[in-house]
Amino acid sequence: MSSFALPTAESESQRALLMRIARGALVVHVIAHVLSSIAFATFLVPPYPAWLQKPLNAAIFAFGMRWGGQGTVVLGAVAGFCFCAACIGMRPTIIVAAIAFFLSLGAELLGTFTGLPFGVYYYTQALGYKILDLVPYNIPTSWFYMLVACFAICGRLLPAKDDATSRWWWALNCGLLLTAWDVVMDPAMVKTSHWLWNVPDLSDKPAWQRFIGEPLFHGMPITNWLGWLLTGIIVSRAMLMVVPPTTWARGLAAYRFPLMLYAVNGLLAFAICFRQDMVSAGVAGLVTMGVPLWLAWRAEGRTPAGATSRLVPDMATAGD
């Protein structure tokens, strides 16, 4: 399949508008994460302080708990979508966004209905409206924009070629980057009852099945990581069928914008883990997310041989 071309000079005004929207959404997205992190690291730890029970404060608290997480994810999706559209074009962005949303939704529906491939778990009402009363809509939404960030990291760290081997290599690394995010996110979200594990009794099962299926890491089984890795590889590989590595690298790798998107989505989880005595999860997340992020941040945005790029390398000047 032929790759999509980058935006041309005729679309520069639309590209600049998309970048401005992306920057604005990212700024509010970051602010929301910072405020939520401060709250969960201070007073949003049971038992809640008395002042939070006052009528006005209780109403604000209820509103924030109901809509804060949903709004933050939507802002991340707007930022990721507009940034991606400005960099690789609107049509391919719509296609890969649909692929990411529906494939990850399918995996989550399968997981919540059958326990495969992640293990036996279910979502509470804390994340808002649930599709088929199983999966909150903002779960597959977050898969999309985090994958945009993962492709940008790959574009900075991996060779960009469009052969089958390179596409699978990129897909594997995107799956690993997504799983790295879950290392810290899953313990934090379980601790705050956003979703819960219901691991069955495996005492009569073989040792290998008990090892991967029983709670091992803050109530989470290894099957969860295996499921994340498998799903991440499949979704990434499908996206790479539409937009190949050279286009992702040429379009996204010159920016630090998606690196910030990736980093800030670990902030709340880190705050919860370190505040609620899950230090090992916080440290593990710092390593799994932090090492590739640090390497990508230090790397120069690269352009594949023979390609040209007019992209501005830093978020601060993008779209100006």
What confidence score (pLDDT) does residue 301 get? 61
pLDDT tens, position by position, 202-247: 878 888 888 888 888 998 899 999 999 999 999 999 999 999 999 9
What confidence score (pLDDT) does residue 155 get? 96
CB 124 within 8 Å of CB 163: no
pLDDT tens, position by position, 145-159: 999 999 999 999 999
Q: Which two tokens stand for residue 201?
A: 């009794």
Split the chain (320 residues) into runs of 10 and give each run's mean pLDDT.
48 91 97 94 85 87 85 96 96 97 97 92 91 95 98 96 97 98 95 88 82 87 95 98 96 95 96 94 96 93 42 37
What confidence score (pLDDT) does residue 1 get? 44
Phi-psi region of 290 (alpha: psi -120 to 50; beta: other; left: phi over 0): alpha
Using a 10 angstrom Cβ sphere, with 0-12 exposed, 13-18 middle and 19 or more buried, the burial of residue 7 is: buried
